[in-house]
Structure 1
Amino acid sequence: MGNDENRNSIRRMAGLATPMALRVAVTLGLPDRLLDNGASVDELAVELNVAAVALELLLDHLATLGIVERTSTDYRTTEYGANLCVDSGDDLTNVLLRLDTAGGRAELAFVDLAHSIATGQAAYPRRYGRDFWADLAENPHLRKTFDQQMTYRIRAQIPQIVDGFDWSRFSRIVDVGGGRGDVLAAILAAHPRTHGHLVDLDPTATEARRTFSAHDVDERTQVTPGSFFDPLPAGADAYLLVDILHDWDDDHAHRILSRCVEAAHPAGRVLVVEPVAGRRAQSEINLAMLVMFGGRERRIDEFRALGSPHGLVLDAVTDLTDERCLLEFRLAAGR
């Protein structure tokens, strides 16, 4: 590859026009609107209440990308572009590309990546005036789409998570920040003697009750609306953290682990399921954790250091999926 080709390749990687064009197209619903019956620019502009001249510029670029095709009278979604439709089967992509969802809104914080690199802090508050979690608390729509994102992101991996570890060792599992309960419900469905207790904020906790009912594990589950920064249900023999710690800096991660340790049975375990840097984490996701939350994907030695002040000893690391590991911590004797 020659120098000119290298430079052109780098410029294409650095360009913002294409990723933003795709996001605006999905947010406007263009792939679905143009899937079967095409439409002219003027017709679309009236429907969507947007500027016709600007809309045509967007559609022309989408045609260059192969997302739509231009006929003599209108634009239509191509077979390739249909992958961006709501019912394409790729729920996560659609949720993440929409600018009016929690994930799509959060990715715009990458504009302030330089701030995060300079300070080590999240860029999200710099862009929006408050952190990601405060934004969710103030906006029910953002919280709903965040819960959807978490469900979609892990759904395909749940069978591997259930099969890749011996959950039957535990009679009672507390799922800390367990979201809608999909992981815990699947574990309990596979292990009829195990009971579960999920902790998360409302209205997510309410959704978890529905999940448990759908999996017919109501009689073996409890749900407590609340924060993992507050005292947790005591006496369980496993405290499960799925995709939790990487959302937080070390100070907040210590607070979460402290709550798990103070609540755990003396012979209990703390189970951390998430990507591990150098093992099951992508560099792009690492930057996303930094920009959005001020967190990161930690290395195994960083997890050991994180657990040590709380008397947590890392016993084992299990590769559950292509994206996630399970780190099993035990409580040190005489803690």
Structure 2
Amino acid sequence: MTRLPPVRVARAATTVRTAVQGLTRRMVPPPVGVLELVSGLIEANTVYAVAKLGVADALARGPRAAADVAAELGTNPDATYRLMRAAAGYGLLHQDGDRFDLTALGRPLRSDAPDSMRAVVLMIGDPRYQSVWARLPESVTTGTAQAEAVHGVSMWELLDRDADYAATFNEAMTRLTALDWPTVAAAYDFTPFRRIVDVGGGHGRLLASMLGAAPAAEGVLFEQESLLPAAEELLREAGVLSRCRLVGGSFHDRVPDDGDLYVMRRVVHDLDDEQALALLTTVRRDMPAGATLLLLESIVPPGSGPDFAKTLDLDMLLFAGGRERTEQEYAALLDRAGLGMTRVVPTISTISLVEVRPAA
């Protein structure tokens, strides 16, 4: 297992990197800085094309000429060379004449890489996702989500109706859960709990990881019925299915009432304050008096510095009408639901652990 740096060291490194990026931007004329910012759209679509077309997979066995890659992929040779040349400029590939090889940054775009990010890139670069982001001005004007304006249905209904995009979305969520897990495991001890309930746990990746870290615990996956078959397969492959109970249902109505640790990863941020209050009130009603609730969420920090939580906050506004919250906003929301925040545990990733217990 990779040894992770302490949170304070990782955050100090991030502070230095952010300062260097800010200095770089201040060294160019403001109009050029604005052009560089908006050109991020071009970079993102270049990464998406490399992932979508399978360029990284075609380079899995080593350096190849762009023409050979094009022949394998069935793409235009000249356009393929131009795409790969641009990708090399972004550090995804290394170019030597007309031959290209994957760099360390490009390897996670392979579909078979242990740390693959291809599904995440395919989700974010998909036109069904990008078309909603194009309506950010409308979302800011109205304060409402825009997925329905684009697709005719809410984001959650789109995932129910569009099996292709749902598969990409769920695979991306599973991958992001796996990406966060080492930092969560380094920050929190799951061994004291005998029954862990993952509320809205998707395909079960997080539950499988928690049960791996707590070998004496049982697990309950509470999720909508349509996701349970895939979750059962993942939990079986992880070797923990015999310790699991899979329960179908909506967390807006109820949650299992026999856990001693309830976990919700990036669930509350999908909801506006009143929806979040209703969910947390339901959890408070159904969880045993001595149980613990653990929210895995991004926390918006104070100040004007860049932070992933601030970007993700706009994503929640656009797609679900939800929001990222500050520590103080979580404390106030939890208090309204009859819950008390016991501590916030930071990690070196973009996620923090908000530990909660029923208020006395």
Q: TM-score, normalised by structure 1?
A: 0.82
1:166 to 156, 166, 189: 189
Contact 2:294 2:354 in 1 (8 A): yes
The residue that corresponds to 1:20 in the other structure is 45
CA gap of 1:77–1:56, structure 2 versus 1, over 3 A, is: closer
The residue that corresponds to 2:345 in the other structure is 318
- Alpha-carbon offset, residue 258 of structure 1: 2.4
Contact 1:102 1:146 in 2 (8 A): no
Question: What is the rounded CA distance, in whole Å, between the counterparts of 1:108 and 1:119 in structure 2?
Answer: 17
The residue that corresponds to 2:4 in the other structure is none
Question: What is the rounded CA distance, in whole Å, between the counterparts of 1:266 and 1:82 in structure 2?
Answer: 48
- Alpha-carbon offset, residue 118 of structure 1: 1.5
Question: What is the rounded CA distance, in whole Å, between the counterparts of 1:176 and 1:24 in structure 2?
Answer: 35
Task: State how 1:144-223 maps to structure 2 within 5 Å.
Answer: 144-223=167-246
- Alpha-carbon offset, residue 281 of structure 1: 4.7
The residue that corresponds to 2:327 in the other structure is 300
The residue that corresponds to 2:151 in the other structure is 128
Question: What is the rounded CA distance, in whole Å, between the counterparts of 1:160 and 1:17 in structure 2?
Answer: 31
Fraction of identical pairs, as percent:
26
The residue that corresponds to 1:10 in the other structure is 34
CA gap of 1:194–1:90, structure 2 versus 1, over 3 A, is: closer
CA gap of 1:108–1:329, structure 2 versus 1, over 3 A, is: same
Contact 2:202 2:231 in 1 (8 A): yes
Matched residues, number: 325
Residues 151-197 of structure 1 deviation map (CA, whole Å, 9 limit, x = unaligned): 21121332332342232333222110112222222222332332221
Quick one: which amino acid aligns to residue 32 of structure 2? N
- Alpha-carbon offset, residue 311 of structure 1: 0.8
CA gap of 1:33–1:166, structure 2 versus 1, over 3 A, is: closer
Task: State how 1:57-136 maps to structure 2 within 5 Å.
Answer: 76-80=99-103, 82-83=106-107, 84-87=109-112, 89-92=114-117, 94-98=118-122, 101=123, 104=126, 105-136=128-159
- Alpha-carbon offset, residue 33 of structure 1: 4.3
- Alpha-carbon offset, residue 247 of structure 1: 1.9
Contact 1:32 1:82 in 2 (8 A): no
Bigger shift: residues 297-306 or 254-263: 254-263
The residue that corresponds to 2:265 in the other structure is 242
- Alpha-carbon offset, residue 278 of structure 1: 0.7
SS at 2:283 equivalent: helix
Residues 290-322 of structure 1 deviation map (CA, whole Å, 9 limit, x = unaligned): 223222221111112222222111122122443
2:260 is equivalent to residue 233 of structure 1: no
Question: What is the rounded CA distance, in whole Å, between the counterparts of 1:70 and 1:125 in structure 2?
Answer: 47
The residue that corresponds to 2:315 in the other structure is 288
SS at 2:65 equivalent: coil
Quick one: which amino acid aligns to residue 282 of structure 1? A
Once superposed, what is the RMSD of the aligned Cα atoms? 3.3
Q: TM-score, normalised by structure 2?
A: 0.77
Contact 1:277 1:299 in 2 (8 A): yes
Contact 1:95 1:149 in 2 (8 A): yes
Unmatched 5+ stretches in structure 1: none
- Alpha-carbon offset, residue 44 of structure 1: 5.9
The residue that corresponds to 2:54 in the other structure is 29
Quick one: which amino acid aligns to residue 227 of structure 1? S
Quick one: which amino acid aligns to residue 158 of structure 1? W
The residue that corresponds to 1:272 in the other structure is 295
2:289 is equivalent to residue 262 of structure 1: no
